[in-house]
Amino acid sequence: PKKTPVRVLIADKSFPLFLLLVSSFFLTIFFRISASVVLPPEGERLGMSAALIAFISSIHFYIYALLQPVSGILHDRYGPVRVVTFGLFLTAASCLLLTFVRTPLTLGAWRLISGVGVAPMYSAVLVFQAFAFDPERYSFYAAINLGVSSLGAIVSVAPLGFVLDTFGMTATFAILSAIPLVLGGILAKKAPHDPIRLSGAGKKQESIMSIFPGIVRAVVYILKNPRLRSIQTLWAVSSASLVTFQALWGVSWFAAAFDASLPSARFWSSLVSLGMMVGPIFTSGVLVLPEKLPRIIRIVCSFNALSWFILLAAAHWGMSVWVGGLGALLVGVASGMRGVFSLAAITAVSPPDRRGVIFGAMNMTAVLSSVVFQWITGIVIDFFPGEAPGTFTAHGYTAGFTVISVCMALSLLAFRSLGREPFTHEEDR
């Protein structure tokens, strides 16, 4: 098939609205990963255990996960623009919590409310992208989505840490609350032009309680489809591993493993997020053809698993923090590539009118896996306390991420049910 020129792809009338939704997902990643900068220092100040820090961090992921299928079905029914607008206003409110006194209770409340606010953003972009654009060019738009959103992870580590060190928590988060507020106002004006909402004009609206049977049907559909189950396993383990490093322990691990200063550890560990931008760029020119997807997914997922062992070796035997940074960069590249093609496969297999809720249900499992991985690593790391309360040794982080690397390797057993036939949802009929 002939490739469409980039200038034509970005000239699509839906592209500006797509960029606004991508910007919202950027904020999702920013506020999710900001916990890795906010929580460890606050945990040390308050003398919290690693398990308690992991629990407070995981509150965000609990509520985020539980709302994924709900968000997906709301996108299918009301259009992603309206749903995201409400989420942005709630996200702005969550930022204001950190302008007050910070205790384990208020930190937990911040994670809870921010989890509710950003819950709709990811599936919103996926649903909009699948509806508005040519499926063969999925990797192009997915590269923009994952590339721009991964910038949020970069900004939320070293730059956010610098701003917090310079201006303090109160001033920083007071300013940050204005960003989702402004973006939400812009999207509110664009809501009448949502193509998904317009395509549903005149359809009978079901009651809000009908959301729950829709979620059950989506979960049953996933469980009955062996290819979706396979993709779910690969996605969940990869995503949970990445989030555990990126959103919780990455900075602390590098600081302990390399005896690095906090700014240095923030910078080099954040290269995982740069990799998440670079990986999708590598995939942006690939035409996503159903017959090629099974082989591509096998290659990128194997590369993804291998990259974790390379990071583990770099952090354990590397003589300098930049060696660990290169390992983190490789993990990010592999994870970004895996993300693009996994989502393309889900789009190909899922019925068009149920993509939102299927995306949501599968993302719920991925996020809940992140909670489990954070808990497990927190429990393991707790066995290796440092000299000061709330600090832990490099051996503890190595042990925790060895568990993660082994899980990545075991996830490749899902290849057995992936199949080699072209990806298409007609196969289930």
Task: Tokens for 401, please give them.
Answer: 């991420």
- Predicted pLDDT at 3: 55
Please determine, for residue 280, whether its predicted confidence score (pLDDT) is greater than 70: yes
Task: For residue 241, give Cα distances in angstroms to 139, 328, 331, 389.
Answer: 23, 12, 10, 26
Q: What is the pLDDT of residues 36-91, one digit of tens each?
A: 788 888 888 888 887 788 889 888 888 988 888 888 878 877 888 899 999 999 99
- Predicted pLDDT at 201: 45
Q: What is the pLDDT of residues 247-261, one digit of tens each?
A: 788 988 999 999 999
Q: What is the pLDDT of residues 147-180, one digit of tens each?
A: 788 788 788 877 898 999 899 888 998 998 999 9
Highest mean pLDDT among 276-280, 330-334, 337-341: 330-334
Q: What is the pLDDT of residues 4-38, one digit of tens each?
A: 555 666 666 778 888 999 999 999 889 888 887 88
- Distance between CA 178 and CA 188 in Å, rounded? 15
3-state secondary structure of 88: helix
- Distance between CA 41 and CA 229 in Å, rounded? 39
- pTM (two decimals): 0.73
Domains and CATH numbers, the chain: 13-192+211-428 (1.20.1250.20)
Q: Give, as one character, the DSSP assignment of residue 413.
A: G
Q: What is the pLDDT of residues 382-411, one digit of tens each?
A: 899 888 777 789 999 999 999 999 999 999
Please determine, for residue 380, whether its predicted confidence score (pLDDT) is greater than 90: yes
